[in-house]
Amino acid sequence: MSATHSFSSLVPDVILDAVESTGLWSDSRIYPLNSYENRVYQVGIEDSTPVIAKFYRPDRWSEAQILEEHRTLLALKDEGVAVVAPLAFAGKTLFCHNDIYFCLSPQLVGQHPEADNLDELYQLGELIGQAHQKMSTPFVERISVSPLAQMDDAAKQVWLGKHLPEKLKPLYKKQISTLRDLSESRIQAYWPTQLRPVHGDSHRSNLMLHQGQFHLLDFDDCQNGVAVQDIWLHLTQTENPRQQLSEIIEGYEVFLPFETRELDLIDVFKSARVICYAAWLQNRWSDPAFVRAFPWFGSDEYWINHLNELKNCELEWGNISR
């Protein structure tokens, strides 16, 4: 069953049936939350606070991979790390309804970090450092990061897909080749001997300030990776990111020393993210939620802007490590 077909079955009655299969009793209030890869809803509970119901995209992660994510979150919570862990019912955190895996989590109300707030960047560094300190054992089931392979796979998908205009393909091929060569050179100069567990997608929307404490949300992309993967997404100043970086690393090193050679990998991860984002949109285009949310995808204007993004990755190469 395709993800699109499965998600189309998530009508209100099905969502409520899934939630109530855990033993909770809903008050029938459902509010969809902003999520494209999965489907996430706030569901009201009788005489209690709402819960967050997350329905996993079919065929993306295996049961074993999702359970490893859940075990990690529960362990982090037990260690005092501010994360949102899944709720357990009769010892289980993962459930299946209508062939879709789902879990329930407590509702968290708060604000996302301010992009240029240095005090908050220090706090984010502390949280990421604490999480990395406690996630000391590499994942067994989750994927391991491989930037060059991810670039190659994403670029191939875009090239063979139907959305990139033929007239722009030569420019696309040239820009991808340039960024791949730069990335390969960086990786050859330094790559850690052992990968470590990381959140994998710790952008601002996956952090929330709740009752004076930042919390890490949504470990859907947790993987074996490199510490700087969870740091670089918080650098919003392209011309002079050093002050932001200094605050994050200072907070991080309250819990763990930071390997500064990883800074040279930021350009690699940035380029991979830009390349993979276009492939992700293309691969999900059969999902009506993506068509509604990204109507401009596939237009000439989109691809011209995408080529400019790729060019900027090249032009800004080395700004961090200078």
Catalytic residues: 201, 218
SS3 per residue for 71-122: HHHHHHHHCCCCECCCCCECCECCEEECCEEEEEEECCCCECCCCCCHHHHH
Instruction: State the CB neighbour count (10 A cutoff) for residue 289.
Output: 16
Q: Establish how many alpha carbons lie within 13 A of residue 174's alpha carbon, considering only the half-sphere containing its beta carbon.
A: 8
What are the residues facing 111 on neighbouring strands?
209
- Give the burial class of 118: count Cβ atoms within 10 A of its Cβ; 0-12 exposed, 13-18 middle, 19 or more buried: middle
For residue 27, say whether it is annotated as part of any ligand binding site: no
202-205, Cβ contacts within 8 angstroms, sequence gap of 24 or more = 202/128, 202/229, 202/230, 202/231, 202/233, 202/234, 203/233, 203/234, 204/112, 204/113, 204/115, 204/233, 204/234, 205/34, 205/112
Q: Which of 73, 70, 18 is nearest to 40 (CA)?
A: 18
Cα separation, 252 vs 254, in Å, equals 5
For residue 300, say whether it is annotated as part of any ligand binding site: no
Q: Which of 56, 46, 37, 143 is nearest to 94 (CA)?
A: 56
Q: Annotated binding residues for Mg(2+), as ranges?
A: 206, 218
Q: Annotated binding residues, as ranges?
A: 206, 218
